[in-house]
Amino acid sequence: MTGNQRTLSLESSRSLRWPVLLVYLALCLFRAPKVIWPGRFWAEEGVVYFREAFSLPFWEVIGTANLGYYSLWNKMASITAAYAVPLRFAPFICVLFALAVQLLPAWLLLYARVPALGSRLRQVAAVALVLLVQPNQEVWLNTINSQFFLGISTAIILISTSANRLTRTVRLGALVIAGLTGVVSCVLTPFFWFEYACTRNKQKLYEALALTCACILQAAIVLGSPERATHWHLTLLAFVLLTKQWILPVLGHGAAASFATHVVQHQLYTVELLVPVILLPYLLLGFALTRWGSRHAWLLFSAGILIASLSFLRSLPGTEPNWILGHLSTIGGGRYYFAPNVLLGLVLLMAPRQVGTRRTHLRGVFRATCVLLVVMMITVGAYDYVTSKQRHLWFFDGPSWPVEVQNWETNQADRLQIWPRPWSMELPKADGQDPSSDPRQIRGRR
């Protein structure tokens, strides 16, 4: 390619950014209009964070941790919703905060320099993966799950560089917010230092320092919180990873549900000898990346496995069977696997471009397999996007917030129903607050 051709290609790629970003925004909004307006509170977003912001002075809200870790973005959204608008518009503010975070990974993919995603087609495919990869129903446009989109954004920052001061500043700010919002992004901190050690790039040093400082504060809060009793179900982990990271995003909910049912009925998750067979996709992809992959593909591959594994192992409360086996279902704990699945999709999208110059049969098979898997991920996700309101009603339908507020203000109801059913929350009335309703006493799911 000549210099003029490269310049034209670069200008064409730049001109594509805003149209792609606008389409992405439109698809975020149109999937479930009821989520956008009049808005909704999702689970702990209302029961914990908004209730706390509505009931307490903002300086007390900022200084408290909830659910065992600190969530800065959730608190900023809830405080704004509690102070800036009347109560009937409060959920809409949280939706806007969630939308901003959901746009961030797409913006980073389009405006950062990711060597393996240099072509227009790969950039569009990467944005499509963020939008469509399964399972994404539970993380859709709510601040309580913004940490997973922030985790994806952190991973994109890890493998990319910025061309100007504005985007560098945005990236540093995003890393600080990500590190102080949940623990997903904190898991990636060692990868940033590894990348800096490999490149000695000053920008990577600043990014590693920004994330590290945030994670030190997050770690202090997590270590100071009561320890949650969990058990390390390592054999079951292999089956969960196969179901959630491969079968569900590639073959869809029907195939994943059938496989999970077969595993549970025959108690295959107790057979340790099956673990190497179950983990075969990871072994094959790891072998291929060793021969033909890049350092960045390896970083995302490792980070995705680590996030998915830690999310599973640290989310199981004791030995309760329903919770343990729930991760095998298509929707149980789905929020924990969305970010790892996006990272896996990006690895597959990057891998074919990082092969060597020598042509081999295995290299061709690897390339074709990666392309096929990415196409299937996007196709399955697109089908779910179109049918989600009928197939996942639990996630995309719920009580009308304006009606709930009216009933509450006219004393027709003591509690406000929120999404998903049957979640509800109690807010203090203007004439006084019941001390027993202190939201800091609430214990929600992790």
Band the pLDDT of 226: cuts 50, 70, 90.
confident
The model carries a pTM of 0.92
**Domain-ending residue, one of 394, 411, 431:** 394
pLDDT at 14: 67
Percentage of the residues of the chain whose pLDDT score is greater than 90: 73
For 339-349, what is each residue's pLDDT tens digit?
999 999 999 99
Kindly state whether residue 50 falls inside one of the protein's structural domains. Answer: yes
Burial annotation 6-44 (CB, 10 A radius, 16+ → b, else e): eeeeeeeeeeebeebbeebeeebeebbeebbebbbbbbb
Please check whether residues 216 and 359 belong to one and the same domain: no
Q: What is the mean pLDDT of residues 251-256?
A: 96
For 52-85, what is each residue's pLDDT tens digit?
999 999 999 999 999 989 999 999 999 999 999 9
Kindly state whether residue 414 falls inside one of the protein's structural domains. Answer: no
Q: What is the mean pLDDT of residues 406-413?
A: 94
Please check whether residues 281 and 206 belong to one and the same domain: no
Please check whether residues 375 and 293 belong to one and the same domain: yes
For 82-125, what is each residue's pLDDT tens digit?
999 999 999 999 999 999 999 999 999 999 898 878 788 999 99
Backbone torsions φ then ψ of 69, nearest 5 degrees: -155, 170
Please check whether residues 264 and 182 belong to one and the same domain: no
Please check whether residues 195 and 51 belong to one and the same domain: yes
Query: Within 10 Å of residue 364's Cβ, how many Cβ atoms?
Result: 12
Kindly state whether residue 5 falls inside one of the protein's structural domains. Answer: no
* Residue 338, amino acid: F
Please check whether residues 143 and 116 belong to one and the same domain: yes
Please check whether residues 333 and 222 belong to one and the same domain: no
**Domain-ending residue, one of 394, 416, 432:** 394
Please tell me the distance from the alpha carbon of residue 308 to that of residue 341, in angstroms, as a whole number.
9
Kindly state whether residue 244 falls inside one of the protein's structural domains. Answer: yes
Write out the DSSP string of 228-293.
P-----HHHHHHHHIIIIIIHHHH-HHHHHHHHHHHHHTTGGG-GGGHHHHTHHHHHHHHHHHHH-
Please tell me the distance from the alpha carbon of residue 303 to that of residue 197, in angstroms, as a whole number.
17
What are the residues whose beta carbons fall under 8 Å from the beta carbon of 265, sequence distance 6 or more? Answer: none
Domain that holds residue 176: 33-227
Kindly state whether residue 333 falls inside one of the protein's structural domains. Answer: yes
Band the pLDDT of 313: cuts 50, 70, 90.
confident
Percentage of the residues of the chain whose pLDDT score is greater than 70: 88
Kindly state whether residue 171 falls inside one of the protein's structural domains. Answer: yes
Please check whether residues 126 and 239 belong to one and the same domain: no
pLDDT at 292: 87
For 141-182, what is each residue's pLDDT tens digit?
999 999 999 999 999 999 999 878 889 999 999 999 999 999
The count of domains in the chain is 2
**CA 397, chain centre distance (Å):** 21
Please check whether residues 188 and 305 belong to one and the same domain: no
Band the pLDDT of 6: cuts 50, 70, 90.
very low
Query: Of the ranges 2-16, 38-52, 176-190, which one carries the lowest mean pLDDT score?
Result: 2-16
**Domain-ending residue, one of 227, 260, 287:** 227
Q: Which two tokens stand for residue 259?
A: 């496989």
Band the pLDDT of 13: cuts 50, 70, 90.
low
Mean pLDDT for the chain overall: 89
Kindly state whether residue 401 falls inside one of the protein's structural domains. Answer: no
Please check whether residues 63 and 143 belong to one and the same domain: yes
Please check whether residues 207 and 71 belong to one and the same domain: yes
Q: At what angle do helices 361-391 and 120-132 cross, to 10 degrees?
A: 40
Please check whether residues 219 and 238 belong to one and the same domain: no
pLDDT at 8: 38
Kindly state whether residue 408 falls inside one of the protein's structural domains. Answer: no
